[in-house]
């Protein structure tokens, strides 16, 4: 290199160095943003819309045996693993119609972790400033057939040592997952035949599992259909509940078992929590009702076991109140079912009847009226038969509760409630029927006409 060129390079470097010495030093680079990691609250009944692997594993399951899972929180991550090779044999899951819509919207990472904790560690960092909405449409529930508590010894398989819970029930149906701006997401039910994410420039359909049309058909037929059977949510029970402390009172295990039964009843059976939804034709409604009645009988027996060993009057009151509520709630579901849930005729039959009504033929019109009357009478006869049998059990258990309450001192809310329910049941079944119930099953109660209404109005407990 010529000397002049060397000089030029050296001078250039010297100038650069002198300038850098006079200038402020460059700011240090910001450290990479740490992943958002909040304190995560695992749901008691985890939602599966972001949990692809557990959802796929459950979809492949035939539900002929009780399913075990590993469900835990690791740092800021909630994990769920379906243990395919750990089952309690010959304990199948039974399908019941159950209708419920739910939507969850998360507008930032923190809301993803709170609204959709299972799978949030994967989804939250990918929001990129957008919101996400999950719509679920539950059309049925798969309930574990046994009503008794399962223990680890009931399960067999190489991965059972890793199991933490077993599945008591599974909500099935369809769901959609949509990303976009919060305002657009908030104004549309996305899992719906009429909703199209493509029509909204501010939204993008990420995933849809299950078909809205077949979910609509599943609602109308009360049947489990292949294209609307996506596992959406799980009910779980621990495999290793906290041990009863040594020397604890005998009521401690009894109380724990009652709490377990009560929790499952609320999650799988009670009318007040959205169950016992009767819909379809007269035959479908009656058959669905009888299936619920069979469940009620099993739950009744499980509760009855809590009365073994002379637990005392207070326990008898609690258990009998729960047994009575099983059957009164079930009867109310049947008594109150009506159109459009109850479909007396198929669409084709309705069309034929309408044509007969609109015709100028008196014979056809008369036949159409006779058909309607016949079906209506058949429905009322079938309904009344089922109601009588169901109300019978509720009445007897409420009356037995009052007899148990006589052994306790002081005002008793359960007794007051039983009197109120017996007064209402008298209105529904009639005085003659109530008198027969008391005479045949609880003769200790000297029944007179209007007894429970008078006790109710006097405030007796």
Residue 59 near residue 230, CB atoms below 8 Å: yes
Residue with tokens 């029927």: 433
Q: What is the pLDDT of residues 44-99, one digit of tens each?
A: 999 999 999 999 999 999 999 999 999 999 878 899 999 999 999 999 999 999 99
CA–CA separation, 67 and 329 (whole Å)? 29
Out of 222-226, 253-257, 388-392, least confident range: 253-257
b/e burial code for range 440-452 (CB count within 10 A of at least 16 → b)? eebeebebeeebb
What is the C-alpha separation between 75 and 361, in angstroms, rounded?
A: 77
Q: Which residue has the tokens 């305002």?
A: 183
Question: 279 and 341 in contact (C-beta within 8 Å)?
Answer: yes
Report the distance separating Cα 364 and Cα 362, nearest Å.
5
Find the Cα–Cα–Cα–Cα dihedral 345, 346, 349, 354, rounded to 10°. Answer: 70
Answer for the pair 120, 155: CB distance below 8 angstroms, yes or no: no
On whether the CB atoms of residues 202 and 181 are closer than 8 A, the answer is: yes
- pLDDT per residue over 282-309, tens digit each? 999 999 999 999 999 999 999 999 998 8
Q: Pick the more confident residue, 7 or 142.
A: 142
Residue 122, pLDDT score: 82
DSSP string, 293-341: HHHHHHHHHHHHGGGTT---HHHHHHHHHHHHHHHHHHHHHHHH--TTT
The mean predicted confidence, pLDDT, of the chain is 88
CB atoms within 10 A of CB 354: 11
Return the beta strands (E) in 145-285 as ranges.
Answer: 165-180, 203-209, 230-238
Helices (H), 134-281: 182-186, 212-221, 251-268
Rg (CA), the chain: 31
What average pLDDT score do residues 208-232 get? 94
Contact 48, 55 (CB under 8 A): yes
Half-sphere exposure of 267 (CA within 13 A, CB side): 22
pTM for the model stands at 0.82
26 alpha carbon, distance to own chain's centre: 59
Residue 180 Cα distances to 58, 196, 324, 380, angstroms = 29, 13, 49, 51
On the question of pLDDT at 18 being above 50, the answer is no
Cα separation, 416 vs 345, in Å, equals 43
| The pLDDT of residue 17 is above 50 | no
Paired tokens of 144: 């574990």
């Amino acid at each position: 290199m010529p000397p002049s060129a060397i000089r030029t390079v050296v001078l250039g470097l010297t100038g650069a160095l002198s300038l850098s010495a006079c200038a402020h030093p460059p700011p240090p680079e910001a450290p990479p943003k740490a992943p958002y990691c909040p304190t995560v609250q695992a749901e008691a009944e985890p939602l599966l819309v972001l949990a692809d692997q557990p959802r796929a594993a459950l979809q492949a399951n035939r539900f002929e045996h009780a399913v075990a899972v590993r469900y835990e929180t690791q740092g800021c991550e909630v994990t769920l693993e379906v243990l395919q090779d750990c089952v309690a044999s010959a304990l199948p899951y039974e399908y019941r119609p159950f209708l419920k819509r739910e939507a969850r919207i998360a507008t930032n990472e923190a809301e993803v972790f709170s609204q959709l904790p299972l799978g949030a560690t994967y989804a939250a960092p990918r929001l990129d400033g957008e919101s996400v909405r999950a719509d679920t449409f539950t059309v049925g529930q798969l309930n574990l057939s046994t009503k008794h508590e399962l223990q680890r010894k009931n399960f067999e398989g190489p991965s059972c040592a890793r199991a933490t819970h077993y599945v008591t029930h599974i909500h099935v149906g369809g769901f959609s997952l949509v990303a976009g701006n919060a305002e657009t997401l908030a104004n549309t039910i996305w899992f719906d035949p009429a909703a199209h994410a493509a029509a909204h420039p501010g939204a993008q359909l990420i995933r849809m599992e299950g078909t809205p049309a077949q979910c609509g058909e599943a609602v109308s037929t009360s049947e489990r259909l292949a294209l609307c059977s996506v596992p959406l949510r799980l009910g779980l029970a621990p495999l290793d509940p906290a041990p009863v402390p040594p020397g604890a009172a005998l009521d401690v295990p009894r109380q724990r078992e009652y709490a377990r039964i009560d929790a499952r009843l609320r999650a799988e059976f009670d009318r007040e929590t959205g169950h016992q939804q009767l819909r379809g034709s007269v035959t479908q409604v009656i058959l669905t009702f009888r299936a619920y009645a069979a469940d009620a009988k099993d739950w009744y027996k499980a509760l009855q076991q809590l009365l073994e060993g002379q637990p005392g009057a207070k326990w008898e009151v609690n258990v009998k109140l729960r047994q009575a509520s099983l059957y009164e709630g079930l009867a109310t579901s049947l008594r109150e079912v009506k159109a459009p849930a109850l479909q007396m005729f198929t669409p084709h039959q309705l069309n034929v009847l309408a044509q007969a009504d609109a015709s100028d033929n008196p014979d056809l019109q008369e036949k159409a009226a006779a058909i309607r009357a016949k079906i209506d009478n058949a429905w009322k006869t079938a309904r009344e038969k089922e109601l009588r049998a169901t109300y019978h059990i509720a009445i007897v258990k409420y009356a037995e509760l009052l007899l148990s309450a006589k052994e306790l001192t002081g005002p008793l809310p359960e007794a007051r409630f039983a009197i109120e329910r017996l007064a209402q049941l008298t209105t529904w079944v009639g005085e003659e029927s109530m008198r027969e119930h008391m005479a045949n099953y609880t003769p200790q109660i000297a029944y007179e006409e209007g007894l429970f209404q008078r006790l109710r109005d006097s405030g007796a407990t």
